[in-house]
Amino acid sequence: MSKMENETSSLLAMIREGRPMTRRQQLWLTVQLSVPAIVAQLSSILMQYIDASMVGSLGANASASIGLVSTTTWLFWGVCSAAATGFSVQVAHLIGAGDMKGARAVLRQSIISVFAFSLLLGLVGAAISGPLPGWLGGDSVIRRDSSLYFLIFSLFLPMLQLNFLAGGMLRCSGNMRVPSILNVLMCILDVIFNFFLIFPTREMEVFGHMVQMPGAGLGVEGAALGTVLAEMVVAALMMGYLVTRSPELKLVGEKGRFLPRKFVLRQAAGISLPMGLEHIVICGAQIMTTVIVAPLGIIAIAANSFAITAESLCYMPGYGISDAATTLVGQSLGAGRRELTRTFSHITVYMGMAVMAFMGVLMYVFAPEIIGIMTPVEEIRTLGVTVLRIEAFAEPMFAASIVAYGVFVGAGGTLVPSLMNFFSIWAVRLTLAFWLAPVMGLQGVWLAMCIELCFRGIIFLIRLERGRWMNKQTLRT
């Protein structure tokens, strides 16, 4: 174990043991947990960015075929993530209370639970993959590739679910480093697999020599296969580390029950169900946005997809800090330390706002270069840059909602923040987008998004400052 890992473990132990922490120690622990989590989130989004860039070189139709179903894939991702979070938050509370045996018991039961859930979800995805592009209003020329992409994604969903579970468990135990490293590896593997699967056999110049580079020439199908193969490798490595090497959670050498108990499932459902429903209604709203964008044409669909992927590079640091907030708040509340819980909630939220404000400035300045990497089509690039710069102004308040949500998840209270997200997106964003799209085109859709994100950040900050979220009873097995 490295010096920094030892220091992180020592600081987390101070939370569990009830020892006082200086403000410097609190800040340093937050940074130590946030930086690897940010790297993990960025690498995850970078993988989507790479897919978009590689497929974008095939033309607007290929880009639009993936962009059309992107919101639906996010819906399935979100539901799987919510299922894993229901168990990982229990583990964070139990570790905070010093009950390592109880934490491992929850882990064992979670493996069977989430795998079975994701298997059923994957079958649903496979069943709807055929008609889905038509339901979303996609042009007939892109429907076949869209269906195939979503079918492959759905069939490999259990592997993605195990990846989410293992990563969430490690992060809630305070280990941000291993998920970060493995997510970077997944990004590298995605590039390698895509390189050989998307493009046909061709000649390339390597160190001044022409070399025939083999390729499967599968196009959009190759992009899907490259992604799921990378996810499979990393899921195996992540689960392997979790159950054999994690100091707090390794299962090797210890007997225990894998069949889920009712009270563990009930506690998981209390956390996961509001989050899952939230993801469904929010991604439903995103799908509705896709339906609003689809009639604007293939250029608008592709530009919207690329801009969403590009913006993700900006807001993923917020999700990394949110992961750290969930760990810190979960363990602090599990240890019964309310004042420390409040302090960590403030540190993480305001750190997230500062980081994403800086990222927003970078996004505004370098929007042409960011979009330009993903597509050579000038019309797509111009439109993508315009909408990306609109969104840059919302990043600080978007950060407030992202990290505060992580705080509330760590406290085990997901219902109220889920309702807040639901109201903000459906009542503010979609209403404005419906009015503005016919007048302003894609720019109107993104202006509506910018206004809504600012509104959402404000209401999350209000809830954070009121402090009622700390009244949620911590979870016990």
Q: Could you read off the pLDDT of 111-130 as tens digits, one per residue?
A: 999 999 999 999 999 999 99
- pTM of the entire predicted model: 0.80
Q: List the pLDDT tens digit at each of the 477 positions of the chain.
A: 566 667 888 888 898 888 999 999 999 999 998 888 888 777 776 766 676 677 777 777 887 888 788 878 888 988 898 999 999 999 999 998 889 999 999 999 999 999 999 999 999 999 999 999 998 888 888 899 999 999 999 999 999 999 999 999 999 898 988 998 998 898 889 889 988 998 888 888 777 778 888 888 898 899 899 989 999 999 999 999 999 999 899 999 888 888 989 999 999 998 898 888 877 877 778 778 878 887 888 888 888 878 887 887 788 888 889 989 999 999 998 888 999 999 999 999 999 999 999 999 998 999 888 888 777 788 888 888 999 999 999 999 999 999 999 999 998 888 899 899 989 989 999 999 989 988 898 899 999 999 999 999 999 999 999 888 887 555 554
What is each CA distance from 426 to 3, 274, 377, 432, in whole angstroms? Answer: 47, 16, 32, 10
Mean pLDDT of the chain: 88
Distance CA 460, CA 456 (A): 6
Domain regions of the chain by residue span: 3-471
The whole-number pLDDT of residue 329 equals 93
The whole-number pLDDT of residue 1 equals 53
- Please choose, from the candidates 435, 233, 396, the residue with its C-alpha nearest in 3D space to the C-alpha of residue 314: 396
The whole-number pLDDT of residue 72 equals 84
3-state secondary structure the chain: CCHHHHHHHHHHHHHHCCCCCCHHHHHHHHHHHHHHHHHHHHHHHHHHHHHHHHHHCCCHHHHHHHHHHHHHHHHHHHHHHHHHHHHHHHHHHHHHCCCHHHHHHHHHHHHHHHHHHHHHHHHHHHHHCCCHHHHCCCCHHHHHHHHHHHHHHHHCHHHHHHHHHHHHHHHHCCCCHHHHHHHHHHHHHHHHHHHHHCCEEEEEEECCEEEEEEEECCCHHHHHHHHHHHHHHHHHHHHHHHHHCCCCCCCCCCCCCCCCCHHHHHHHHHHHHHHHHHHHHHHHHHHHHHHHHHHHCHHHHHHHHHHHHHHHHHHHHHHHHHHHHHHHHHHHHHCCCHHHHHHHHHHHHHHHHHHHHHHHHHHHHCHHHHHHHHCCCHHHHHHHHHHHHHHHCCHHHHHHHHHHHHHHHHCCCCHHHHHHHHHHHHHHHHHHHHHHHHHHCHHHHHHHHHHHHHHHHHHHHHHHHHCHHHHCCCCCC
Distance CA 81, CA 413 (A): 16
